[in-house]
Chains A and B, each alone.
Chain A
Amino acid sequence: MTARPDVSGYFGKYGGKFVPETLMPALAELENAYADALADTAFQKQFDRLCKDYIGRPTPLYYAAQLSKKAGGATILLKREDLAHTGAHKINNALGQGLLAKRMGKTRIIAETGAGQHGVAAATVCAMLGLECVVYMGSEDIKRQAPNVVRMKLMNAEVRPVNSGSKTLKDAINEAIRDWVSNVQNTHYSLGSVVGPHPYPMIVRDFQAIIGREARAQVMSAYKKLPDYLVACVGGGSNSIGLFHPFYNDKDVKFIGVEAGGKGLKTGKHAATLATGKVGVLHGTKSYLMEDEHGQIMETHSISAGLDYPGVGPEHSFYKDSGRATYVTVDDNQALEGFKLLCHTEGIIPALESSHAIYYAVKMAKDLSKDKIIIVNLSGRGDKDLGIVTQALGMEA
């Protein structure tokens, strides 16, 4: 594996800790607690056991025969994170951080959520571990992801609506950071993606890397070879880093990150940070971000709340500059097409986030031969999106 990030929390020139002084000791505490946990076999055993018995890991690597046939080219395999408990990959990280919080003696967890998947995962883990849970969610996202709000409340989490700025994920993170600054003594901030100040991009990546480790073993076992391409959607970038990272040294395996093209790059209403952004500092990390000419963070748009974020994890910025990964965009309509296609061909309802990756994988599979293998991270299931999809497709219930 790689030695990144370095001791200062940098992936090349990206990363770091750009936070108020109040939080600096908490970040150091978290870094130390994480290092201790890594060295503690009892912690690792507990995490592994809960991954298996609670989350239901390993998730299958499924040969999507009909989807592959429809695409008419490469073999498409789906890493079924949609089958993980709570219906998305977010639970892997939420579980890891919940156990870390316990270990640090914290009694309260705060989390931000966009699509609601990380909020649900955090609420779930808190219920199981007996921790108090407060989830910050943009009021715009509360509207479009109502089922997840109900799920969080059922598990006794308090959902606090955020009405500032664009009322989406970015603002929910601001509010979670403000809460953390105010309650840092007893509170752990369970950050849901590979963003934020060091050590979050590293910790979240490590907890999500179980996706790639499993996929690597599964594809080797079934096909006796490595895949040719890994395809995953990128908002903050946790499911994609989770899949990519364990393949980092397999230089022939190509990484493709799919960003949200929203209503099209030309309209400005999108969330394609790596495709169009500049380097700056947001939410404690130096990375690509979407800003205006004066350095103000821009409001983004995507049909999928989970990709609707103007920043991206620093490790992705590093992958982009070094060429290790390629980043492409898929717009709202194409994502909907990917969504429908997977429903029709495989009987699987994907999350709108993952639908971006599905669409791109099918598009590229067409031009490849059958012996080429594409692994797509099916990062979540789409039940939460039925309202949006029904509306977008003009369907009647």
Chain B
Amino acid sequence: MSIFVDENTKVIYQGLTGSQGRYYGLLNRDYGTKVVAGTNPRKAGEDVDGIPIYANIQEAVDATGATASCIFIPAAGVQSAVLEAAEGGIEFIVAITEGVPAHDEAYFYNYLQNEFPNVQLLGPNCPGIISPGKCNIGITAGHIAKPGGPVGIVSRSGTLTYQALYELKEKGIGCTTCVGIGGDPVPGTSFIDCLKAFEEDPETKAVMMIGEIGGAAEEEAAEFIANNMTKPVSAYVAGVTAPPGKKMGHAGAIVSGGKGTAQAKMDALRDANVRVGLNPTEAGEHMVDIIAELGLN
């Protein structure tokens, strides 16, 4: 099984008529994702390589029965795109767009919590989600992932997610679902949301987690793992050598005054019996050991 999406998930692409939306929308369809519609109020009635374009989410949902959407809309339009998706009946919203203002993220996160508590938002500023062999929503290169299982992956970093998928594949290990939650200050989906789902998913036997400096998400995840996870976890946290007070690329990756350092995060994870690698490869090797110990190799 997979978490959040599977081979039957029907997806609407908000921004399918844009260059990024078209490129990844069609790649995702080629992978096997059910890309059933796109939206654009000015291009309703047209199509993108056979995928019908509707004026808005509501019409697209009514026509296709889609339950998920993927947002490839410039940052300025992401807030209204998220609200439109939720109001149109979408249950799982994946926002790929980077550069969304933090105040917008805080606003629509809380708006969904208050008005649409059952809607799951992933992102913004994330690579998306892939259940290898079943469904790929976002910008992950599908062929670097091995279908099946038994590992679930959750990551705050894009390229490190690909690295993790690839290293597991090289070692012959498959992945049930890989969720890139993104590095922004208010991610719609947290580590804990994913850990909880992986814990409940019978086909996921172990979880690999990739964190970054900044915030307290890894520390909170460590607490959750200690109290609620029976499945083994391996982890890597990027930014051990990052100087305090400097932003390292991601809006979220900033260390302030000793809080949110990679060291503090690694310590918290180790205390929760997570096997922490000092680099991504080492975290992958830990996972190979875990799989062997579970007798799944």
Q: Do these two chains really belong together in a complex?
A: no
Using a CB–CB cutoff of 8 Å, the interface residues on chain A facing chain B are none
